[in-house]
Structure 1
Amino acid sequence: MIKEMKQKGMYITDIANELGCDRKTVRKWLNKDELPVYKRKQRPSKLDPYKDYIRQRMDEGCFNAVVILDEIRKQGYTGGDTILRDFMKPLRPQMKEKATVRFETLPGEQAQVDWGTVTVNWDGRQKQLHVFVMVLCYSRMIYVEFMEDEKLETLMGCHVRAMQYFGGITRKIVYDNMKTVVKERNHEGKVIWNERFAAFARHHGFIPWACKPYSPRTKGKVENGVKYVKMNFWPRVRTFESLHDLNIQARYWMDTVANVRVHGTTHEVPVERWRHENLQRFNLIPFETVERHKRRVSSDCQVSYESNRYSVPFQWVGQIVAVQDDKNGRIRIFAGDELIAEHTKASDRHQKMINPEHLKGLKHSSTPRKQTYQPRLVSSPIPEVSERSLDVYDRFAEEVNVHA
Structure 2
Amino acid sequence: MKEMLQRGMNITQIAEELGRDRKTVRKWLQADEPGSYPKRKPVEGKLDDYKDYIRSRMAEGCLNARDEIRERGYTGGITILRMFMQPLRPAVQSKATERYETQPGQQAQVDWGHFRVALDDGHKRLYAFVMVLGYSRAMYVEFTEDERLETLLGCHTRAFEYFGGVTETCLYDNMKTVVSGQADNGEVIWNERFARFARHYGFVLRRCKPYRPRTKGKVENGVGYLRKNFWPRIRSFTGLQDLNDQVRRWLDTVANQRVHGTTHRVPAELWEEEELRPLPEVSFAYADRLHRKVAADCYVSYDANRYSVPFAYVGATVEVQDEKNGTLRFYFNGQLIAEHPKSLGRHQVVSNKKHFEGIRTATSRPVGEPTPRYVPQTAPEVLERSLSVYESLMEQAMFQ
TM-score (norm 2): 0.68
Letter of the structure 2 residue corresponding to residue 148 of structure 1 = E
The equivalent of 1:241 in structure 2 is: 238
Q: What does the per-residue CA deviation read over 1:37-76, in whole Å, with 9 as the maximum and x for residues that have no partner?
A: xxxxxxxxxxxxxxxxxxxxxxxxxxxxxxxxxxxxxxxx
SS across alignment from 2:165: coil
SS across alignment from 1:222: helix
The 8 Å contact of residues 105 and 276 in structure 2, kept in 1 or not, is answered as yes
Kindly, what percent of the aligned residue pairs are identical?
54
Instruction: Trace 1:102-113 onto structure 2 (pairs within 5 A).
Output: 102-113=99-110
Q: Cα gap change, 1:98/1:179 in structure 2, threshold over 3 Å: closer, same or farther? A: closer
Letter of the structure 1 residue corresponding to residue 320 of structure 2 = V
**Greater shift after overlay, 96-105 or 325-334?**
96-105
Point out 4+ residue stretches in structure 1 off by more than 6 angstroms. 28-31, 33-36, 94-98, 370-373
Q: Say whether residues 1:149 and 2:138 are aligned partners.
A: no
Q: Cα gap change, 1:372/1:296 in structure 2, threshold over 3 Å: closer, same or farther? A: farther
Letter of the structure 2 residue corresponding to residue 99 of structure 1 = K
SS across alignment from 1:99: helix
Q: CA deviation at 1:99?
A: 2.6
SS across alignment from 2:141: strand
Q: CA deviation at 1:368?
A: 3.8
Q: Say whether residues 1:300 and 2:276 are aligned partners.
A: no
Q: What does the per-residue CA deviation read over 1:222-278, in whole Å, with 9 as the maximum and x for residues that have no partner?
A: 111111111111111111111111111111111111000000000000000000002
Q: Say whether residues 1:99 and 2:95 are aligned partners.
A: yes
SS across alignment from 2:249: helix
SS across alignment from 2:162: helix
- Among 302, 308, 311, which residue is 1:311 paired with? 308
Q: Say whether residues 1:278 and 2:291 are aligned partners.
A: no
Aligned counterparts of 2:175 and 2:91: Cα–Cα separation in 1: 31
Aligned counterparts of 1:184 and 1:97: Cα–Cα separation in 2: 26
Aligned counterparts of 2:237 and 2:356: Cα–Cα separation in 1: 28
Q: Say whether residues 1:259 and 2:256 are aligned partners.
A: yes
Aligned counterparts of 1:325 and 1:306: Cα–Cα separation in 2: 10
Aligned counterparts of 1:194 and 1:280: Cα–Cα separation in 2: 23
Q: Cα gap change, 1:104/1:362 in structure 2, threshold over 3 Å: closer, same or farther? A: same
Letter of the structure 1 residue corresponding to residue 163 of structure 2 = F
Q: Say whether residues 1:358 and 2:391 are aligned partners.
A: no
Q: What does the per-residue CA deviation read over 1:65-113, in whole Å, with 9 as the maximum and x for residues that have no partner?
A: xxxxxxxxxxxxxxxxxxxxxxxxxxxxx97996335210010010000
The 8 Å contact of residues 327 and 340 in structure 2, kept in 1 or not, is answered as yes
Aligned counterparts of 1:98 and 1:114: Cα–Cα separation in 2: 19
Aligned counterparts of 1:272 and 1:154: Cα–Cα separation in 2: 30
Aligned counterparts of 1:243 and 1:330: Cα–Cα separation in 2: 8
The equivalent of 1:216 in structure 2 is: 213
Aligned counterparts of 1:102 and 1:341: Cα–Cα separation in 2: 49
Aligned counterparts of 2:93 and 2:242: Cα–Cα separation in 1: 44
Q: Cα gap change, 1:261/1:299 in structure 2, threshold over 3 Å: closer, same or farther? A: same
Aligned counterparts of 1:274 and 1:173: Cα–Cα separation in 2: 16
- Among 116, 136, 140, which residue is 1:139 paired with? 136
Aligned counterparts of 1:34 and 1:183: Cα–Cα separation in 2: 63
The 8 Å contact of residues 94 and 214 in structure 2, kept in 1 or not, is answered as no
- Among 172, 175, 180, which residue is 2:169 paired with? 172
The equivalent of 1:192 in structure 2 is: 189
Question: Is there any run of 5+ residues in structure 2 with no aligned partner, and where?
Answer: 1-27, 37-89, 372-400
Q: CA deviation at 1:29?
A: 11
Instruction: Trace 1:25-174 onto structure 2 (pairs within 5 A).
Output: 32=32, 99-100=95-96, 102-174=99-171
SS across alignment from 2:336: strand
Letter of the structure 1 residue corresponding to residue 228 of structure 2 = M
Aligned counterparts of 2:210 and 2:91: Cα–Cα separation in 1: 26
Aligned counterparts of 1:226 and 1:31: Cα–Cα separation in 2: 55
Aligned counterparts of 1:122 and 1:213: Cα–Cα separation in 2: 37
**Greater shift after overlay, 302-311 or 239-248?**
302-311
Aligned counterparts of 1:98 and 1:165: Cα–Cα separation in 2: 30
Q: CA deviation at 1:366?
A: 6.2
- Among 175, 178, 182, which residue is 2:179 paired with? 182
Aligned counterparts of 1:349 and 1:243: Cα–Cα separation in 2: 15
Question: Is there any run of 5+ residues in structure 1 with no aligned partner, and where?
Answer: 1-27, 37-93, 374-404
Aligned counterparts of 1:307 and 1:220: Cα–Cα separation in 2: 40
Q: CA deviation at 1:145?
A: 0.8
Letter of the structure 1 residue corresponding to residue 265 of structure 2 = E
SS across alignment from 1:165: helix
Q: Cα gap change, 1:211/1:98 in structure 2, threshold over 3 Å: closer, same or farther? A: closer
Q: Cα gap change, 1:370/1:308 in structure 2, threshold over 3 Å: closer, same or farther? A: farther
The equivalent of 2:325 in structure 1 is: 328
Aligned counterparts of 2:165 and 2:200: Cα–Cα separation in 1: 14
Q: CA deviation at 1:295?
A: 1.7
Q: CA deviation at 1:367?
A: 4.7
Q: Cα gap change, 1:34/1:149 in structure 2, threshold over 3 Å: closer, same or farther? A: closer
**Greater shift after overlay, 151-160 or 274-283?**
274-283
